Structure 1
Amino acid sequence: MIWTFHSSLCYFLTQIDMLICHPRILLFLLGPILSILHLAEFMTNRLYAGILLCGFRHWTFDQNHILENACIIIEGRLTNRIE
């Protein structure tokens, strides 16, 4: 059990060392990871906006319109900060 953990750790460290030594491989892997994180944050922002809008359904149309615009502005600022 301990030997397996040690050999796995050594393998993992070797792979990290390979990635550090080969920046093209690191950049190749980093692009998709950042795209997935960007999509996840975008979807989370949309979910928060939806929860806010559902929570205030009893408001008037004008109040809901203001809240929706505020959510869109906040979402846009968070999205632009990543890019």
Structure 2
Amino acid sequence: MRTDISDPEVSWAGTALLGVTVGSLLSIWSGLWLIFLNRNPPDQSGWTYLATGILLTGLAFLIGGMGMGLLRRQTEHQAD
């Protein structure tokens, strides 16, 4: 297993893993926050917009990280 961070394969894998991890955590916690806000409506709607924005950001990170991983896997097969 390669562990040199300057290695492009390690860099790709680390970036994809970071995107998937951050995206998953943001999506889960902001989703729970939205459920809480739905059951306990706040005085101002700004909190709901903030939670929705964080949820969408988390989904973007998740999709981007998964996309990077799939793209790298496809390019590995073409390089062989």
TM-score for both structures, normalised by structure 1: 0.46
Higher RCO structure (Cα 8 Å, ≥6 apart):
2
Kindly name which structure, 1 or 2, has the bigger radius of gyration based on alpha carbons. 1
Using the size of structure 2 for normalisation, the TM-score is 0.47
Structure with the bigger percentage of helix: 1
